[in-house]
């Protein structure tokens, strides 16, 4: 053994003492039982053949790479991978799947087995069966081989395996969506990529939404009538199961023989609606297609449920619980955006600081519950009498801050309007028996001036107190 190779093995053994004996075998590709406890030997990387080996140190860097392992990713020389992070062999969505799902399971159980798509040296997609074993020093024994032929319906791995990986990648993208609209669009794209229908349809009764996409929606091409999609969704939810085009006709509904599209599969998206795929070719969808659509529909339903929860949490985080107006937490966010816009376009940003004169008397004479009712009504009054682009914030107690983009001196008109509306409210309100007025101070942030936005808010606050004192004279 050369001194160079011996030094390399000694270096590896410092990080992987539990596999040191294994490393001293010829070329480091045999006697795997010493490392993993399995009665198998690492052999070549042919399809369906034995596993190849790579070792990761505790930092996730390759400290040893078997020549055949390197070949799985299109590298002729294992040295090309030494010192590289494992993430360099996988696309970003797979890295996220590893870090969020696979590695936590590996840390918990010590081993992980599964299939995953990697990225070859030339950028091509490669598919491997992996077996990961965590070492006691925080590293990983990384065994890989080309995935065996699929035993699903006798279909070749290149077809079924590719679609399964496409579905996994699509579901990963679905989890990264930021809005309902993005969820809808991603779900339809995944259905289109995995099942290759003429049209994919997402019909959600709960949201009263019907979205469709596909090659069959081109100009001068007939489309499936909305009433068929709607009725199909209704049946899918009633049965709480997948409905196929043949079933649809058996239920005595629409005659698909009169339609261009002959094959339809509709899968329930929990209790919201259905995800549907449609083609003009009779008998196009297989049982495997049905299974894949069910899986996708399930994930769409879960993602929509999570989006609702996340939406509620986001709403609670940026809104005042009592008045429903934005809170000071959101103020920081909107200020950053509006100041950037003002600086970019050279527009002024106006601030109105609003306080309720006599509010303490409401709490003292009536109750804090009555005071809360007054705060809600004043909040509604302010919100109803500014523009949609303006932002009303409950600043604290009985104080409100209003942001008016691109207003400048026009804020005086807004001040007069709000005070007049408050006078009108006094004539109609049945909550308290004495009138209330508003003290309002204004200021304008000019991006060409040196004063900061915080200083301008302070200026509006001072002017509000001046207005409050003047109203008591």
DSSP assignment of 339-407: HHHHHHHT--EEEEEEEEETHHHHHHHT-HHHHHHHHHHHHHHHHHTS-TTSEEEEEETTEEEEEEET-
Tokens of 201: 């349809």
Tell me, yes or no, if the pTM score tops 0.75: no
Kindly report, residue by residue over 268-311, the tens digit of the pLDDT: 998 899 999 988 888 888 888 888 899 999 999 999 999 988 88
Residue 265 contacts residue 245 (beta carbons within 8 Å): yes
Question: What whole-number distance in Å separates Cα of residue 307 and Cα of residue 204?
Answer: 15
- Out of 126-130, 236-240, 259-263, least confident range: 259-263
Q: What would the mean pLDDT of 11-19 be, rounded to a whole number? A: 42
Q: Sheet containing 273-279: which strands, arranged edge to edge? A: 209-213, 199-204, 273-279, 263-269, 243-244
Judged against a pLDDT cut of 50, whether residue 6 lies above it is answered with no
Domains of the chain and CATH, by start? 3-146 (3.30.450.20), 157-316 (3.30.450.40), 328-471 (3.30.70.270)
Question: What whole-number distance in Å separates Cα of residue 240 and Cα of residue 238?
Answer: 6
Question: What whole-number distance in Å separates Cα of residue 471 and Cα of residue 473?
Answer: 6
How many C-beta neighbours within 10 Å does residue 301 have?
20
Question: What whole-number distance in Å separates Cα of residue 340 and Cα of residue 185?
Answer: 30
SS3 442: strand
Question: What whole-number distance in Å separates Cα of residue 373 and Cα of residue 369?
Answer: 7
Judged against a pLDDT cut of 80, whether residue 19 lies above it is answered with no
Kindly report, residue by residue over 82-135, the tens digit of the pLDDT: 989 988 888 877 788 788 888 888 888 888 888 888 888 888 888 888 888 887
- Out of 188-197, 245-254, 303-312, least confident range: 245-254
**CB-count exposure of residue 218 (10 Å: 0-12, 13-18, 19+):** exposed
pLDDT classification of 144: cutoffs 50, 70, 90: confident
Say how many Å lie between the first and final Cα of the chain, rounded. 99
Q: What is the pLDDT of residue 214?
A: 63
Phi, psi for residue 377 in degrees, rounded to 5: -65, -40
Judged against a pLDDT cut of 90, whether residue 459 lies above it is answered with yes
Q: Which helix (H) or strand (E) holds 129?
A: strand 125-134
* 437: nearest Cα among 352, 355, 351, 370: 355
Judged against a pLDDT cut of 90, whether residue 439 lies above it is answered with yes
């Amino acid at each position: 053994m050369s001194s160079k190779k011996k030094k390399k093995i000694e270096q590896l053994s410092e990080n992987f003492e539990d596999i040191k004996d294994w490393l001293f075998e010829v070329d480091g590709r045999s006697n795997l039982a010493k490392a993993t406890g399995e009665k198998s030997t690492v052999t070549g990387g042919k399809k369906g053949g034995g596993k190849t080996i790579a070792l990761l140190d505790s930092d996730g860097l390759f400290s040893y790479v078997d020549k055949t392992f390197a070949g799985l990713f299109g590298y002729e020389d294992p040295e090309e991978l030494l010192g590289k992070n494992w993430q360099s062999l996988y696309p970003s969505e797979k890295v996220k799947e590893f870090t969020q799902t696979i590695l936590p399971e590996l840390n918990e159980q010590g081993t992980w087995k599964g299939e995953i798509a990697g990225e070859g040296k030339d950028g091509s997609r490669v598919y491997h069966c992996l077996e990961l074993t965590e070492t006691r020093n925080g590293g990983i024994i990384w065994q890989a081989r080309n995935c065996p032929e699929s035993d699903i319906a006798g279909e070749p791995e290149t077809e079924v395996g590719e679609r399964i990986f496409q579905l996994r990648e699509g579901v990963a993208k679905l989890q990264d969506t930021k809005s309902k609209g993005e969820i809808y669009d991603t779900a339809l794209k995944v259905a289109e990529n995995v099942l290759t229908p003429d049209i994919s349809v997402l019909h959600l009764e709960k949201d009263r939404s019907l979205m469709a996409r596909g090659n069959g929606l081109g100009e001068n091409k007939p489309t499936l009538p909305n009433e068929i999609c709607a009725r199909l969704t209704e049946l899918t939810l009633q049965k709480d199961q997948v409905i196929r085009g043949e079933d649809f006709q058996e239920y005595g509904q629409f005659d698909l023989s009169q339609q261009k599209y002959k094959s339809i599969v509709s899968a329930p998206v929990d209790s919201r609606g259905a995800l549907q795929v449609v083609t003009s070719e009779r008998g196009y969808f297989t049982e495997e297609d049905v299974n894949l659509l069910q899986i996708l529909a399930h994930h769409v339903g879960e993602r929509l449920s999570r989006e609702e929860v996340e939406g509620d949490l986001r709403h609670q985080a940026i809104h005042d619980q009592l008045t429903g107006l934005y809170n000071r937490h959101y103020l920081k966010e909107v200020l950053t955006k509006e100041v950037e816009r003002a600086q970019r376009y050279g527009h002024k940003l106006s601030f109105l600081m609003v306080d309720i004169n006599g509010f303490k008397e409401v709490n003292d004479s009536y109750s804090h519950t009555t005071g809360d009712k007054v705060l809600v009504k004043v909040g509604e009054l302010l919100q109803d009498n500014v523009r949609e682009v303006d932002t009303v914030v409950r600043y604290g107690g009985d104080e409100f801050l209003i942001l008016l983009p691109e207003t400048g001196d026009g804020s005086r008109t807004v001040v007069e309007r709000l005070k007049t509306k408050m006078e009108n409210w006094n004539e109609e309100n049945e909550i308290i028996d004495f009138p209330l007025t508003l003290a309002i101070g204004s200021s304008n942030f000019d991006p060409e001036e040196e004063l900061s936005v915080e200083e301008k808010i302070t200026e509006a606050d001072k002017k509000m107190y001046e207005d409050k004192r003047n109203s008591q004279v």
